[in-house]
Amino acid sequence: MTAGKSIALALGLAAVLGAGAPASAGGHGCRGEEVSCYKKVRLPDVYQNVERPVMLRPATKRVVHVPPVVGTRLEREVVAPGRAHAVHVPPVYSTIVRRELVQPGTVSYRVTPPVVETVHETVVVHPGSTRWVTYHDRYGQTIRCPKKSPPVTRTIARDVVVDPGQRVPVFTPPIYADVPRTVLVRPAGVRHVYQPPVTRFVERPVVLRPAQRHVVVEPPVYGVARHAVKVRSGGYAWRPIRAHH
């Protein structure tokens, strides 16, 4: 219930009580009859809460220091620099097997004796001849006839050279053998070798963001102050009470 409604109700009640008060007072109180009785009461003062803005804190300025942001970064650091040096490479030898001539071929000669055969042949010792032979036949006639005398031959033996002696060459083939030989595969030399530098990774601090300084303006802070204000002063009123028989 609001303060205005409370005031209106109290005034109406006071008017009713004021109108009936003399009749009640002129009687014999609240006894004997069925009538309404009222009691005079004190009405309090009426207050109302009033709000108004109040500055709790005025505007201020303050300096804010922001520290630098520092991180780490990996950097390559040379521990030992690179260098080049000469390396002497020894010669490389290998053993191979070669077929070599141990003894060359030769030519010798041998003499073969002559081949002699004995040949028998007939030799005419006296050649044949023809002679005239005269004789008488049985009739006494003289007849003359040629008469051949065969040749006189004789078989003699003689040596005939069938194959005269020869000088025959005799070839002796060469003799080969597998002989191990040491051969140079690669001569000695100098090789230049580069040794790279020796490095390592180290962590170094690095400023990611430098220190900063800026002014922060803080606005004023306002609040609401509440206090009671008297709207109406209190008074008196009549409150109905229950009658006693």
**Distance in angstroms (rounded) separating the CA atoms of residues 10 and 17:** 11
pLDDT of residue 126: 80
Q: Compute, in degrees rounded to 10, the torsion defined by CA atoms 228, 234, 240, 241.
A: 80
The vertex-148 CA angle with 143 and 152, nearest 5°, equals 150
For 137-209, strand residue ranges (E) read: 142-149, 152-163, 166-172, 175-186, 189-195, 198-209
Q: What is the pLDDT of residue 92?
A: 92
Distance CA 182, CA 187 (A): 13
pLDDT of residue 3: 42
Question: Which distant-in-sequence residues (6+ apart) come within 8 Å of 47 by Cβ?
Answer: 228, 229, 230, 231
For 179-222, write each residue's pLDDT tens digit: 898 998 889 989 888 889 999 998 889 888 899 888 888 898 88
Q: Per-residue pLDDT for the chain (245 aa), expressed as one digit of tens each? A: 444 444 444 444 444 444 444 334 444 445 545 567 878 889 888 888 888 888 888 888 888 899 999 988 888 888 889 888 888 989 999 999 988 888 898 988 888 888 888 888 888 878 878 888 787 877 878 777 888 888 888 888 888 888 888 888 888 999 989 889 899 888 998 988 888 999 999 888 988 889 988 888 889 888 888 888 888 888 888 888 865 54
Q: Is the pTM of this model over 0.85?
A: no
What share of residues in the chain are helix, strand, coil (percent, to 5)? 10, 70, 20
pLDDT of residue 4: 44
The percentage of residues in the chain with a pLDDT greater than 70, rounded to a whole number, is 84
Nearest CA to 146 out of 170, 128, 168, 173 is that of 128
Written as six digits, the tokens of 79 are: 């521990």
Long-range contacts of 14-17 (CB under 8 A, 24+ apart): 14/235, 14/236, 14/237, 14/238, 16/238, 17/237, 17/238
Look at residue 94 in the predicted model and tell me its pLDDT: 92
Name residue 223's amino acid. G
